[in-house]
Structure 1
Amino acid sequence: MTAEKLTDLLVARLVRDHGKSKHHWRKVVGKLRLYSTATHPHCNWNATPTGSFQDVALIERLLDDLRMTHPLLNA
């Protein structure tokens, strides 16, 4: 899976479960940062969401779930 596809999946779940627009969630999620699997062998990506406390908490919870199912991303 690529970072763009994971972002699409994340945004789709947020819209489905919590409403608001795709644009809103994409802005709050921001861009996923990819790391080398040599230095991060268990999970090579991270997100730094910005926005309201409630939005960030929702995203962080979902990110934890997605790290379990999609720990490694392709560039």
Structure 2
Amino acid sequence: MTSDKIIDLLVARLVRDHGRSKHHWRKVLGAVRLYSRDTHPHCNWTVTPTGTSHEISVIESLMDDLRMRHPLLTA
């Protein structure tokens, strides 16, 4: 899975489960940060969301779920 595809997946689930627009969630999510597999062999990506505390909580819960399914991303 690529970083672009994980963002698309996050946005689709957020719109479906919590409403608002794709643009809103992409803005709140920001960019995916990838790390080297040498230093992060179990999970090489993260997102640092901004927004309300509720939005951040929702995103972090969803990210935890997706990290279990897609721990390693490619650029």
Q: TM class by shorter-chain length?
A: over 0.9
Look up the match of 2:24.
24
Which residue of structure 2 aligns with residue 65 of structure 1? Answer: 65
Q: With structure 2 as the length reference, what TM-score do the two structures score?
A: 0.99
Residue 35 (structure 1) shift? 0.3
The whole-number CA distance in structure 1 between the counterparts of 2:48 and 2:74 is 19
Q: Which amino acid aligns with 2:67?
A: R
Match of 2:74, SS?
A: coil
Instruction: Give the partner amino acid of 1:14.
Output: L
Following superposition of structure 1 onto structure 2, how do residues 30-69 of structure 1 map, counting pairs within 5 Å? 30-69=30-69
Distance (whole Å) between structure 2 residues aligned to residue 9 and residue 46 of structure 1: 14
Cα distance between partner residues in 2 of 1:20 and 1:14: 8
Note the residue ranges of structure 1 that are not aligned, 5 or more in a row.
none
- Count of residues in Structure 1 that have an aligned counterpart in Structure 2: 75
- TM-score of the two chains, using structure 1 as the length reference: 0.99
Q: Which residue of 2 aligns with 1:3?
A: 3
Q: How far has the Cα of 1:53 moved from its partner?
A: 0.6
Q: Deviations over 1:1-44 (max 9, x none)?
A: 00000000000000000000000000001000000000000000
- RMSD (Å) for aligned C-alpha atoms: 0.3
